[in-house]
Amino acid sequence: MKLTLGTRGSALALSQSRWVVSELIRLTPGLEVGEEIVRTRGDVVHDVPLAKVGGKGLFTKELDLALLARRVDFAVHSLKDLPTEMEPGLAIACHPPRVDARDVVVARGLKSLSALPAGSRIGTGSLRRQAQLRAGWPALTPAEIRGNVDTRLRKLDEGLYDAVLLAHAGLLRLGLAGRVTEILAPELMLPATGQGCLVVVARADDRATVDVCRRLHDESTARCVAAERSVLAALQGGCQIPAGAYAEPVGSGEMLLRALVASLDGARIVRAEARGPAGDPGSLALRVQIELARQGAMELVKGLRGDHE
């Protein structure tokens, strides 16, 4: 059997995609996989903050079109880039096992955010990270940054920033974990929905490809991200909304789901969490949604959307 992978061309995207391919080949004797690199809008636009670029599928749309045109058979994405509504005709083929979902600090010469002097410039293009940074470390200054992981680290090393905030998963996959100076607990910096997770997308009617990809599926990861994405969908949130959701297995057969919505300045953060059976992520997500709504999260989101209109 021969399949064609569709992937973005960044170092991280290639690392992630080729890991998936190597695992699928290991699990499927005789499988051959070709590769097609596809440039997305998110790869082309580098000089505009992500929150202002807007639009669904910033890093996925062109790969979706390649799948629907049958130029490629499957595509690998970072799950946090995947819109909550799939393109008609496409389906999630599998969720590979998650790696560390936490955010990390990479700082020049210092070990933690708390050790940085007042006014230090912290590079991040995420409104979620910016809002939590303003709330937890008000003396520090969030500074907009774009580009792939290598570009952000280079800008840090050149002295344009005192530290940058990144996903631990990306550094792990690139073999750059040694650059990390602080790992931020979810209580301090709640991760993005789906952070640390990959997702493999294929055509819904291509059962042969879906069946091959399914061999790499991890059900625990799938349940966690289902709960997270359900909360995000209810909030109708994207990169224009400072919001996060993170679910993790706890105890015996249970899951802890945490979520937040914040104002842009971090002055107001609405938080909710719930714990329950891992086999029922929908009910757990609903409990969190209700608690967020009770605290005024939807009004906060509507106000944030007004800021961007």
pLDDT tens digit sequence for 136-187: 999 999 999 988 899 999 999 999 999 999 999 999 999 999 999 999 999 9
Domains of the chain (ranges; CATH) run 2-96+197-217 (3.40.190.10), 103-183 (3.40.190.10), 225-308 (3.30.160.40)
For 267-293, write each residue's pLDDT tens digit. Answer: 999 999 999 999 999 999 999 999 999
Contact of 292 with 259, CB cutoff 8 Å: yes
Q: What is the DSSP letter of 184?
A: P
For 222-233, write each residue's pLDDT tens digit. Answer: 999 999 999 988
Starting at the earlier edge strand, list the strands of the sheet with 2-7. Answer: 32-37, 2-7, 74-78, 198-203, 90-94
CA atoms within 13 A on the CB side of 61: 10
Q: How high is the pLDDT of residue 56? A: 56
Q: How high is the pLDDT of residue 217? A: 97
For 290-309, write each residue's pLDDT tens digit. Answer: 999 999 999 998 888 764 44
Q: Which two tokens stand for residue 62?
A: 């062109």
Mean pLDDT in residue range 39-47: 64
User: What residue has token string 């937040």?
Assistant: 260
Q: How high is the pLDDT of residue 47? A: 54
- Out of 43, 47, 64, 81, pick the active-site residue: 81
Q: How high is the pLDDT of residue 308? A: 46
47 is an active site residue: no
Residue 252 has pLDDT above 80, yes or no: yes
DSSP-assigned letters across all residues of 83-101: -SSPPTTEEEEE-PPP---
Reported as a pLDDT band with limits 50, 70 and 90, residue 93 is very high
Residue 208 has pLDDT above 90, yes or no: yes
Residue 111 has pLDDT above 90, yes or no: no
Residue 45 has pLDDT above 90, yes or no: no
Of residues 187 and 239, the one with the higher pLDDT is 187
**What pTM was computed for the model?**
0.88
